[in-house]
Amino acid sequence: MWESIKKFFGINYKKTKNRSAESALKAMKNIVLFGPPGAGKGTQAEVLKQKYQLVHISTGDVFRYNIKNATALGTLAKSYMDKGHLVPDEVTINILNAEVEKNVDANGFIFDGFPRTAAQAKALANLMTEKNAQINAMVALEVDDEILVGRLLDRGKSSGRPDDANEGVIRERIAEYYRKTDILKEFYQAQDKYYGVDGVGSVEEITVRLRGVIDTL
Ligand code: B4P
């Protein structure tokens, strides 16, 4: 199974015997916070980054910042986000790499909303290998689709986010998740790094559940 997934993602993990590389592997905590749109990734990442002193990278936030500042990247990202589609991999992967490079002294990262495709997962694995680091866990917030739609419509009343304002666009985002993103569970399951957490309850209750996983890493 893992062999076929490795082939699918084109991954070539090199085993290192270098001691400093091994200690880097131990020292850093890198977590992929995963889940469908509206699962609460951004909400929980805000809490967890303080708790564990990790750098929080949200590709969605980077795109929204660029939209707000009317950059070329913002214009491009908006043309996809407004339809509920994913921004192309090449652009998103470059953004992620640049965000990681800005934080060379980090204790580790919370990746929020990245990876979302097979190509992004492959790029993240390669980046970690280059840095003698690894992804310690994919922690997934599990929430029913109808609850997601309700949460996002609710946020749309005040957020000003066009992708939250229209139920059709919200449902397209969820469909895009099942088309391109959901498959990544298998990728991390095959490495024994997948942890599913019930994402329904109060924000505080869910943080306790997430900490129950992260504290064991
Ligand atoms: P993102 O910015 O990643 O965000 P999201 O999917 O909308 O939501 P998230 O899960 O973070 O939910 P949140 O905490 O905000 O993506 C936006 C778009 O950017 C994508 O559709 C795509 O176009 C593009 N994009 C981003 N990354 C990309 C990538 N890697 N590749 C390609 N394209 C990419 O919570 C949602 C709502 O629920 C909030 O209102 C919150 O208050 C509420 N909530 C949270 N927890 C709750 C709880 N426990 N109970 C009740 N409500 C809760």
Atom of ligand 1 lying closest to residue 81 CA: 23
pLDDT confidence bin for 83, thresholds 50/70/90: very high
41 included as an active-site residue: yes
Given 161, 180, 185, 211, which residue is catalytic?
161
Residue 20 has pLDDT above 60, yes or no: no
Active-site residue, 151 included:
no
Question: Is the confidence at residue 123, as pLDDT, over 70?
Answer: yes
What are the pocket residues of ligand 1 if the criterion is a CB atom closer than 6 Å to any ligand atom? 35, 37-43, 58-60, 63, 80-81, 86-87, 92, 113-114, 116, 120, 151, 155, 163, 173, 201, 203, 206
> For a pLDDT cut of 70, what percent of the chain falls above it?
88
Q: pLDDT (tens digit, 9 = 90+) per residue, 38-55? A: 999 999 999 999 999 999
Cα 20 from Cα 26, distance rounded (Å): 10
- Give 41 Cα–ligand 1 centroid separation in angstroms: 6
Is the pLDDT at 1 greater than 50? The verdict is: no
pLDDT at 23 over 70: no
- Identify whether 209 is a catalytic site residue: no
Distance between alpha carbon 146 and the CA centroid of its chain, in Å? 21
Q: How far is CA 206 from CA 44, 59, 116, 125, 203, in A?
A: 8, 22, 22, 27, 5
What is the C-alpha to C-alpha distance for residues 160 and 7, in angstroms, rounded to an integer? Answer: 42
Q: Round to whole Å and give the CA distance between 129 and 121.
A: 12
Of 32, 34, 49, 59, the one to substitute when testing ligand 1's pocket (max ligand atoms within 8 A of C-beta) is 59
Beta bridge mates, 197: 141
* CATH number at 2-6+18-212: 3.40.50.300
What pLDDT does residue 28 have? 82
Whether 21 has a pLDDT exceeding 70, the answer reads no
Tokens representing 15 are 């085993």
pLDDT at 3: 43
